[in-house]
Amino acid sequence: MRSMPMRLAAATLSLGFELQGAMATIRMPADFNVEKDFGVKEKYKQAQKYIRCDLCKITVGHTFDSVGETFTEDDVYDHIDNICDVRLFAECSAVSELYKRHELLESTEPGVAKWSLVPAREESDRSEHTIQWQSHSMKELCDNIIRPYDDEIKDVFLRILKAKASGDESLSKPKQREHVVSSACKKTKHCKEDVKSEL
């Protein structure tokens, strides 16, 4: 009789430990069809570990473009609080379009990253199904690696505001954008110091 509560407590501790270690967001569309979608979903999920830096760059760059050159602290907070969320931009679905304007390319070349995130090519022959699942993979990764660092990203934007308030106009808009994107993605550790590519 005494061993039953002990086993239950051990199972509870074990379960609690496992749940504590699994901190990730998984997005699943309402029309998900296991037979049709599972293989495609898993294929593009493999790309996630290779595109962290590029996803950070396009997401932070999009944020900079969205808040404008003369942004306020409120603009920054409003946008970054929903940085990965399409619902905020329901009228124009800007974030959704951001992901659709980029594609995941798989490489078989030796010495080259297995996956890359690049602007969608005009000649791209991606089907709507492929676009949906590539976008899904980018959104899911954004939820897991960008959203948790929203404070760090806000700090980079707010430093620009403070510099402007003190009269420092040393960064023109293109340089401001480059500085914000580079600083935010390095601060969040999604990009290394020597990586310099712009999406």
pLDDT digits (tens, 9 = 90+) for 8-17: 444 444 444 4
- Averaged pLDDT of the chain: 80
pLDDT digits (tens, 9 = 90+) for 26-73: 666 677 777 888 888 899 999 999 999 999 999 999 999 888 878 889
86 within 8 A of 95, measured Cβ to Cβ: yes
76 within 8 A of 48, measured Cβ to Cβ: no
CA torsion 54-42-40-111 (nearest 10°) is 50
pTM of the model: 0.76
Coil, helix or strand for 118? Answer: strand
